């Protein structure tokens, strides 16, 4: 038995998200269909985390098991030859049998892209949130500063009464940076793990701060309330990218490009 990790990039525009959904096309479903063709057996694929409908990825990670070893370079080429052009496997790497794409991860980075032009660039319309109102980015950064560190993020999590948020809503947000872009800015989120829709809910609330609808200090109050109703609406899915997932060094060291 062999286990392999995939690093996957995809445009999430036409998909219901990463995870299987009834009566809707998901990234996981498409990948498993193509894996079955190559492996000639049903091959379950386990992702590092679910992304919602319309969310994109540059570095999603997943793993699968097969009976016989594969040539990672040829397997990647063959898999990409079967996949639609909006899904690409960037890397295939053999990993130890105790590796798990979700539970072995030690760090995740998400980017949220804000397009602040008065007229949205048509080439960015599917990959950013266009906001034409003037934004106070200094206020946004101040509001973001209250979220750095280890906190109960229930107020920024959907499904806070079930799933992972119910079991343990405490997360550590290592970094929330504001980086200028050509026509706008991106918010960079870094942490060990994130609750469901946490990044989008934080972003939506910070935009309300930047528009002057909330004081920056209110972010601290919302956080401490643990009440999802106190926070703002989620930012649109299309501006969010899962950029990278980090893991401990691979002892097999068989990575091939």
137 closest CA partner among 190, 212, 197, 199: 212
pTM of the model: 0.93
Q: What is the pLDDT of residue 247?
A: 96
121 catalytic residue (yes or no)? no
Q: What angle do CA 196, 86, 194 make, to 5 degrees?
A: 15
Q: What is the pLDDT of residue 257?
A: 43
176: tokens are 């929330």
Instruction: Give the start-to-end residue ranges of the domains of the chain.
Output: 2-101, 107-243
Q: What is the pLDDT of residue 166?
A: 62
Contact 19, 50 (CB under 8 A): yes
Between CA 37 and CA 21 the distance in angstroms is 21
Catalytic entry in 52, 121, 152, 227: 52
Q: What angle do CA 224, 229, 230 make, to 5 degrees?
A: 45
Contact 206, 138 (CB under 8 A): no
Q: 173 has which bridge partners?
A: 149, 191
Contact 219, 112 (CB under 8 A): no
Other C-beta atoms within 10 Å of 234: how many?
Answer: 19
Can you name the CATH fold of 107-243?
Answer: Alpha-Beta Plaits (3.30.70)
HSE on the CB side for 163, CA within 13 Å? 11
Tell me whether domains 2-101 and 107-243 share a fold: yes
Can you name the CATH fold of 2-101?
Answer: Alpha-Beta Plaits (3.30.70)
Contact 151, 161 (CB under 8 A): no
Q: What is the pLDDT of residue 110?
A: 98
Mean pLDDT in order along the chain per 10 residues (257 residues): 97 94 92 96 94 96 95 97 98 96 96 93 92 95 97 88 68 97 94 95 98 97 95 96 96 62
167: tokens are 């079991």
Distances (CA, A) of 222 to 149, 153, 216: 15, 9, 11
SS3 string of the chain? CEEEEEEEEECHHHCCECCCECCECCHHHHHHHHHHHHHCCCCCCEECCCCECCCEEEEEEEEEEECCCCCHHHHHHHHHHHCCCCEEEEEEEEECCCCCCCCCCCEEEEEEEEECCCCCCCCCCCCCEECCCCCCHHHHHHHHHCCCEEEECHHHCCCCCCHHHHHCCEEEEEEEEEEEECCEEEEEEEECCCCCCHHHHHHHHHHHHHCCCCCCCHHHHHHHHCCHHHCCCCCCHHHEEEEEEECCCCCCCCCEC
């Amino acid at each position: 038995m062999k286990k392999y990790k995939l690093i996957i990039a995809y445009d999430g525009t036409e998909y219901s998200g990463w995870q299987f959904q009834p009566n809707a096309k998901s990234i996981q479903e498409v990948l498993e269909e193509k894996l079955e063709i190559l492996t000639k057996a049903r091959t379950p694929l386990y992702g590092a985390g679910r992304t919602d409908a319309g969310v994109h990825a540059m570095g999603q990670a997943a793993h699968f098991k097969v009976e016989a070893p594969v040539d990672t370079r040829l397997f990647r080429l063959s898999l990409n030859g079967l996949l639609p052009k909006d899904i690409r496997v960037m890397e295939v790497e053999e990993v130890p049998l105790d590796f798990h794409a979700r539970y072995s991860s030690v760090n995740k980075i998400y980017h949220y892209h804000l397009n602040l032009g008065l007229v949205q660039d048509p080439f960015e319309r599917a990959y950013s949130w266009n906001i034409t109102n003037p934004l106070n980015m200094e206020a946004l950064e101040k509001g973001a500063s209250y979220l750095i560190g280890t906190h109960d993020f229930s107020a920024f999590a959907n499904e806070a009464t079930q799933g992972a948020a119910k079991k343990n809503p405490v997360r550590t947000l290592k970094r929330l940076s504001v980086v200028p872009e050509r026509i706008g800015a991106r918010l960079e989120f870094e942490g060990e793990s994130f609750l469901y829709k946490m990044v989008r809910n934080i972003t939506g609330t910070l935009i309300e701060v930047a528009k002057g609808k909330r004081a920056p200090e209110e972010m601290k109050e919302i956080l401490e309330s643990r009440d999802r109703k106190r926070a703002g609406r989620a930012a649109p899915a299309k501006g969010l990218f899962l950029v990278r997932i980090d893991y401990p060094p691979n002892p097999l060291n068989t990575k091939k490009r």
